[in-house]
Amino acid sequence: MNVQEIILTPLVWHPQSAAEAWLLKQSYGLEGVYISGGTLLRTQWESGISAVPKHLIDLSAIRGLNEVKIGESDVIIGGQVSLQACRTNAFLRRNFPLFTDALRVIAAPSIRHLATVGGNVSSMIGDSIPALLAYDAEVIWYNGLIEQQVPLSDYLLLTNDPNQGNERLLLSIILPFTKLMEESSVCKDEEDSAISKIKRFGAYHKVGRREAFTPSIVTAAINGAISPTGVLTELRIALGGGQMVPQRLEPLEEEIVGTAVDNKLLQRVYDRILQVYEPREDLFATASYRKITAANVITAELWKAARD
């Protein structure tokens, strides 16, 4: 029996609601797995990283999860929306470019048409996660009784308990709108004029052996604002890579917001990233190499923001 025959063995269930999917998961426990596009799971099965489950709980038929909904204060992306659909969405590309930049370098085009944003986030190591963290993303998940909305950073803490994390049914990702200072209305006085000149900056980087369709060594996202005098007025830094659960560097952000970007600050940021970023070592890169790479990427982006 070949690999393809083995993968076709599980029973596939097609729940019509989150509640129905949840009940199926409770019934089958570790023998049942939620599945979206299935691209990551198939890779794990074929490589022998994980066993093929007896039951697949297909989430694609749950109503409302294959839509991008634009509201007054945020945009809600259903967990079943494909990576390609998100990447080519004009609204997301214009307003959340770090996110769509991240999707551009995930796997190959054929995979992006199948893989879903919910699957990428639920993996807890998806390359899109640092970009989402840099936008203060939140998630909606079903707990068996109600839908709950929590910051993505809190949702990722579930990895402290792998079994508990596997129980969570991710439904949607929420990206809140941020007021863009450079798009402020006509200024009324000199103080308003100074505020209007505050510049937003941001960047996403995936460092690997090649640009796409390769395991990441480091994934990094930075999103912030800087004054005409080079003072940071807002900052979010998120790092991931390899098998590491991405994280926001909030203590570092708080330390340096309100500070002018100069050589002293750049050295401080570099040193602090080496201290607080804790990647995992694997066959592709050492932890030390990942730390240095991340520190170089972030300090370079801060330097460019102050220089431009």
pLDDT tens digits for 218-274?
A: 999 999 999 999 999 999 999 999 889 999 999 999 999 999 999 999 999 999 999
Helix (DSSP H) and strand (DSSP E) numbers for the chain:
15, 12
pLDDT tens digits for 12-54?
A: 899 999 999 999 999 998 888 898 876 666 666 665 666 788 8
- Measure Cα distances from 174 to 218, 246, 294 in Å: 24, 17, 26
pLDDT tens digits for 100-137?
A: 999 998 877 777 888 899 999 998 999 999 999 999 99
Res 212 pLDDT > 80 = no
Tokens of 259: 């500070």
Q: Find out whether 138 and 146 touch, Cβ atoms under 8 Å.
A: no
Inter-axis angle of helices 287-307 and 263-276, nearest 10: 150
Residue type, 189: D
Tokens of 114: 């199948």
Res 99 pLDDT > 70 = yes
- Measure Cα distances from 192 to 198, 244, 271, 284 in Å: 10, 42, 36, 50
Res 69 pLDDT > 70 = yes
Contacts of 238 (CB under 8 A, 6+ apart): 129, 130, 131, 133, 134, 220, 221, 222, 246, 247, 248, 249
Cα 94 to chain centroid, rounded:
18
Ordered by where they begin, the domains of the chain are 7-58 (3.30.43.10), 68-176 (3.30.465.10), 181-307 (3.30.390.50)
DSSP helix/strand/coil, 288: helix
* Ramachandran assignment for 230, one of left (phi > 0), alpha (psi -120 to 50 degrees), beta (any other): left
DSSP secondary structure code for residue 51 in this structure = P
Res 186 pLDDT > 50 = no
Residue type, 56: L
pLDDT tens digits for 131-166?
A: 999 999 999 999 899 999 999 999 998 754 545 545
Angle at 43 between CA 38 and CA 46, to 5 degrees: 120
pLDDT tens digits for 159-180?
A: 545 455 456 899 999 999 975 4
Phi and psi of 296, rounded to 5°?
-65, -45
Least confident range of 57-71, 91-105, 206-220? 206-220
**Which pLDDT does position 180 carry in this prediction?**
41
CA 237 – CA 244 distance, rounded (Å): 15
**Which pLDDT does position 237 carry in this prediction?**
98
